[in-house]
Structure 1
């Protein structure tokens, strides 16, 4: 009985999330088939695309502790800011994700920064954007 209630609540939760993401503030928005079975319908004005067509995940740049300096540019590693430098490698705003150490840790960076080799960052795919 308890398992059944949990299952129903999980289904309701997923339904609410799907409704909020696809229809947002307009419950009467026209929908179309996405062409992807597991996605289902999406708003008519949406364009469905593979993520690889929108952005590239780029590995950060090597920087040894000896190469750190008193610059004002934050160096973002897998767990956030690990120091400063005077060179920008990546334009903000951007997102980093830890690839070693704190694997999977996500940082939203508003300013220009140095992306350290322990993280990956989002690089626009200029062909699509």
Structure 2
């Protein structure tokens, strides 16, 4: 499996948990700590999936999604947004920004894997 996933989160422990979980399913995982670094990578490389946190320094997840969706090669790439919010409004805001799916913290590794498989199918 050569599926490349970019994980964007300011929390080292969250990045590590997501990375370990996805690598256990044989995905190729790259991690960065903020939206600016993620956007710079996306301008140089193509990922099959992007998983980004909502709240980050330098560039939040919603802003990042907006910029990524403007890149022609990323118009159809799935993006999963990680949020602390459980409200329908927060999920709708993520969808409106261009997210394919929303994940609510705390993250469940099995749910992460099943949702990853779903959006990549």
Q: TM-score range by the shorter chain?
A: under 0.3
Q: Which has the higher helix share?
A: 2
Greater share of residues in strand: 1
TM-score in terms of structure 2 length:
0.21
Q: Rg: which structure is higher?
A: 1
User: Under a length normalisation based on structure 1, what TM-score does the superposition of the two structures give?
Assistant: 0.20
